[in-house]
Amino acid sequence: MQQITMGQAIQQALAEEMRRDDSVFLAGEGIGVGIHESPVMPTFGLLREFGPARVKDTPVSEAAIAGLAVGASVMGLRPVVEVMFNPFFTLASDQIVNHAAKLRYLSGGKSSFPLVVRVKTGAGFGAGCQHSHNLEAWVAHCPGLKVVMPGTAADAKGLLKAAIRDDNPVIFIEDMGLFFFPSPVPEGDYTIPIGVADIKKPGRDVTVVTWSKMLGVAFKAAAALGQEGIDVEILDLRTLLPLDKEAVIKSVQKTGRLVVLHEATRTGGFGGEVAALAAEEAFSYLKAPVKRVTAPDIPVPFSPPLEKFYIPNENQLIEAVKSIVV
C-alpha cells in the first residue's frame, strides 16, 4: 500500500473526484498558487492539472467563498471550498450556518446543497489563537450540516470522497498536525461512509472516544496502559454529525468505562455530547464516572511552553483512565 501523508491523501481524493465528476470545482485562498508550494499540501498540483476554471484562487473574502459554494451547489455543481484556518470560519459562518444548513429545510425539501467546506485546524504551530481554535462543536450544533473530522490519512481520503458525493453540506475539518506524516492509504477509488465511527483498537477495560489528531495521543496512552495490563478500546468517531450513537453505546456496554478525548476546549466541547449519550443510553453499564480529557478553557497561547500546556497529551489521558480503572 502507498505510504502518504494526510495532505497527500486529501489531494488524491480531490484529484480523483475532479477527474470522475466535472461538476466538482475548488475555491479558496491560495489553493492554486500559494505561498508554500509543497507536495504535502492538499491542493498541490491541482491548478496545473485542472486549470483555473476549476481551481479558483479567491480574494480574501470568506463570506463570498462560502456563499459561492451555497449558490453553486443549488445549481447542481459540487463545490469544495477551503477555509484556510478554523478561526476564519467565523467570517464564512453566516453562509454556512444560516444558509447552507437551513435552505434545504426552508425549501420544504425541494432544494439540495451538495457542498463541502474544508477547514484546516489544530494547535501546535506557534501561530496563536487567531489561527488555532478548534470549533467543531459549533458546527456540530447546526442541524442540516454534516461534520467530518478524520484522524488518519486513509480515512481522510475515503471520507472526503464520500463528502463530495454527499448531497448535503459537509464540513470537513483537517488537523494540519496530520498533514506531514506518512501512513498507509489504499490506492484508487474507495469511500468511507459518513456517520460511521471506527474501532481503531479493540479493548476490554475502557473506551476512549476521540477524533482527529488526538487519535495519536490515544494510541500512545493505550500502549503505555497496555504495559500495565489495562486494555483500552479506541473508538474514532470520524464523523461528529451525524453521531454514530450505536458505536459509542456498544463500546461502553462492552467496557463499562468511558473517557472522551479532544483537542478543543472543555466547556461546550463535543465531549459533553458523547458523555451525555453514555449517561442517557448506557448508564446501567457504566462502572465509573465518565471522564473528559480536553484543552483547558483558554484561547490557544503563543509561547511554546504555554501552547504545550494547552494541547491534551497522553499523560493526562493515562491519568484519567487510571482514575476510573481500579
Partner 1 sequence: MDQKKLMLYQNMLFIRRFEEKLTELCKIEGKLPGMVILCTGQEAVAAGVCGALEKEDVIISNHRSHGHLLAKGADANALMAEIFGKVTGCNKGKSGTLHIAAPEVNALCTTTVVGGGIPIAVGTAFAQQYKKSESVTVCFFGDGSADEGSFHESLNMAALWDLPVIFVCENNVYSGAQRMEEHTKVKDIATRAQGYGMPGVVVDGNDAEAVLKATEEARRRCLAGEGPTLIECKTYRWRGHGEADHQAYQPKDEIAMWMERCPIKKIEKELLSEGVITREDITALEDSITIIVEDAVRFAEESPLPDPLEALDDVYI
Residues 75-134 that bind ligand TPP (CB under 6 A): 84, 88, 91
* 149 and 86 Cβ atoms separated by less than 8 Å: no
Radius of gyration in angstroms for the set of CA atoms belonging to the chain, rounded to a whole number = 19
C-alpha–C-alpha distance, residues 31 and 191, integer Å = 24
DSSP classification of residue 178: G
Smallest gap from Cβ 311 to partner 1, in A, equals 11
Q: Cell 472522551 sits at which residue?
A: 260
Q: Which is nearer to partner 1, 63 or 223 (CB)?
A: 63
Residue count, binding to ligand TPP (CB under 6 A): 6
| 258: β partners | 207
| Active-site residue identified among 16, 29, 99, 131 | 131
Counted residue by residue, the chain has a size of 326
Q: Name which of 60 and 106 has its Cβ closer to ligand TPP.
A: 60
Is residue 16 part of the annotated active site? The answer reads no
Evaluate whether 259 touches 291 at the Cβ level (below 8 Å).
yes
Provide the mask over 25-54, with x wherever binding to ligand TPP is found by CB under 6 A and - wherever it is not. ----x-------------------------
CB-neighbour burial class of residue 188 (10 A; exposed 0-12, middle 13-18, buried 19+): exposed
State in angstroms the smallest separation of the CB of 77 from ligand TPP.
Answer: 23
Nearer to ligand TPP, 98 or 130 (CB): 130
Shortest distance, CB of residue 37 to partner 1, whole angstroms?
Answer: 6
Nearest-approach distance from CB 61 to ligand TPP, in angstroms: 9
Q: Considering only CA atoms, which of 118, 178, 173, 107 is closest in space to residue 144?
A: 107
- Cβ at position 304, least distance to partner 1 in Å: 5
Based on the residue annotation, tell me whether 36 is a catalytic residue of this protein. no
What span, in angstroms and rounded, lies between the C-alpha atoms of 251 and 199? 9
DSSP state at residue 56: E
Question: What is 117-155 written as a DSSP string?
Answer: EEEEE-S-SS--TTT----HHHHHTSBTBEEE--SSHHH
Decide which of partner 1, ligand TPP, none touches 71; Cβ closer than 5 to 8 Å per partner kind.
none
How, if at all, do strands 232-236 and 116-121 pair? unpaired
Single out the residue of 60, 106, 276, 279 in contact with ligand TPP (rule: CB under 6 A): 60
Q: Which is nearer to ligand TPP, 16 or 62 (CB)?
A: 62
Query: Which residues form the interface with partner 1 (CB under 8 A)?
Result: 29-30, 33-37, 57, 59-64, 87-88, 91, 125-128, 130-131, 296-299, 301-306, 308-310
List 16, 17, 62, 307, catalytic entry: 62
Any contact of residue 300 with ligand TPP (CB under 6 A)?
no
Distance CA 85, CA 292 (A): 25
| Residue among 283 and 302 whose Cβ is closer to partner 1 | 302
56 in Cβ contact with 32 (< 8 Å): yes
Closest approach, Cβ 180 to ligand TPP, in A, equals 20
- How far is the C-alpha of 99 from the C-alpha of 95, rounded, in Å? 5
- Binding residues for ligand TPP, rule: CB under 6 A, are 29, 60, 62, 84, 88, 91
Q: Which residues are the active-site residues?
A: 62, 131
